[in-house]
Copies of this chain bind each other. A is one copy, B any other.
Amino acid sequence: MTHRTVGHPSGPPAGPPGHHPANGPSGPPGLPDDPLAQVTAPASDCPVEITLAALHGRWTTLVVREMLRGERSYSELRDALPALSDKVLSDRLSHLVTAGVVERDRRPGWPARVHYRLTSHGHRLGPVLQALWDWGAQAGED
Contact = CB atoms under 8 A, between A and B. Distances in A.
A108 interface: no
A17 to B, nearest CB: 11
Nearest to A141: B121
Interface residues of A, number: 70
Given A7-B1, A7-B58, A56-B4, A132 B138 contact: no
Interface in A59-87: 59-62, 65, 68-69, 80-84
A114 interface: no
A77 B81 CA distance: 41
Nearest to A70: B22
B2 A8 contact: yes
Contacts of A39: 62
Contacts of A125: 135
Contact of A1 (B2, B19, B134, B137): B2
Interface in A83-133: 83-84, 100, 120-121, 124-133
Contact of A3 (B22, B46, B56, B142): B56
